Amino acid sequence: MSPGRSTVWRLAAGLAAVVLITLTYTKWLHVSNPAILSATYLMVVLVVAATSRLWVAVVTSFAAVLSFNFFFLPPVGTFTIADPQNWVVLFAFLAVSLVASNLSAVARARTQEAVGRRDELARLFDLSRDVLMMTQSREAIATLARSIARRFDIAFVAIALPRESGWDISEAGLRTIVLDEGQLTAAFAAAQTSLEFDAYARTYAGHRTMTIGADTIRLVPLRAATRPVGLLAAAGRPLEPGTLDALAGVVALAIERARFLEERKSAELTRQSEELKTALLASLGHDLRTPLTAIRVAASNVKASWLSPEARNEQSDLIVAEVERLTRLFQNILDMARIDAGAVATESRWAHPSEIIAAARDQVEHALRNHRLMVHVDRDVPVRLDPRLTAAALAHLLENAAHYSPAGTAIDVAAEIVDEGLSIRVRDHGPGIAAADLPHLFERFYRGAETKGRVSGTGMGLSIARGLLAVEHGRIWAENCPDGGATFTILVQAKTREPEAAASPVA
Q: Is the dihedral of CA 459, 455, 284, 292 positive or negative?
A: negative
Coil vs helix vs strand at 93: helix
Which DSSP symbol is given to 223? E
**DSSP strand pairing (383-385 vs 166-172):** unpaired
Helix (H) or strand (E) holding 457: none
Q: Which residues pair with 231 in a beta bridge?
A: 160, 221
Model confidence, pTM: 0.47
d(CA 31, CA 20) in angstroms, rounded, equals: 14
What letter represents residue 190's amino acid?
A
d(CA 506, CA 132) in angstroms, rounded, equals: 53
d(CA 82, CA 76) in angstroms, rounded, equals: 10
C-beta separation of 131 from 141 below 8 A: no
Cα 148 to chain centroid, rounded: 15
Distances 169 to 158, 163, 178, 181, 421 between C-alpha atoms, Å = 6, 10, 10, 10, 45
d(CA 93, CA 158) in angstroms, rounded, equals: 54
pLDDT in tens, 173-193: 888 888 888 888 888 887 777
Estimate the crossing angle of helix 461-471 against helix 309-341, to 10 degrees.
50
C-beta separation of 57 from 101 below 8 A: yes
Among 261, 248, 220, 260, smallest CA distance to 144 is for 248
Which DSSP symbol is given to 459? S
C-beta separation of 218 from 228 below 8 A: no
Q: Which residues pair with 203 in a beta bridge?
A: 198
d(CA 235, CA 210) in angstroms, rounded, equals: 10
Question: What's the Rg (C-alpha) of the chain?
Answer: 42
Length in residues, the chain: 507
- Residues sharing a CB contact under 8 Å with residue 7, sequence separation 6 or more, in sequence order: 52, 53, 56
Q: How many helices (H) and strands (E) does the chain have?
A: 11, 15
pLDDT in tens, 419-477: 889 999 999 998 888 888 888 888 877 776 555 555 555 667 888 888 888 888 899 99
Among 396, 408, 388, smallest CA distance to 457 is for 396
The pLDDT tens digits along the chain (507 residues) read: 566 788 788 889 888 998 998 888 888 887 877 778 878 887 888 788 777 777 887 888 888 888 878 888 778 888 777 677 767 766 777 777 778 777 877 887 788 778 877 777 777 777 777 777 776 655 778 888 888 888 888 889 999 888 888 898 888 888 888 888 888 888 888 777 766 655 555 556 667 888 888 888 888 888 877 788 888 899 988 887 777 888 888 888 888 887 887 777 777 777 766 765 665 566 556 566 667 777 888 888 877 777 788 887 888 888 887 787 777 767 766 776 777 677 778 889 999 999 999 999 988 888 888 899 999 998 889 999 999 889 989 998 998 899 888 888 999 999 999 988 999 999 999 888 888 888 888 887 777 655 555 555 566 788 888 888 888 889 999 999 888 889 999 999 998 876 654 444 443
Which CATH number applies to 273-339?
Answer: 1.10.287.130
d(CA 340, CA 232) in angstroms, rounded, equals: 38
Which CATH number applies to 343-502?
Answer: 3.30.565.10
Among 38, 39, 61, smallest CA distance to 48 is for 61
Q: Which residues pair with 477 in a beta bridge?
A: 489
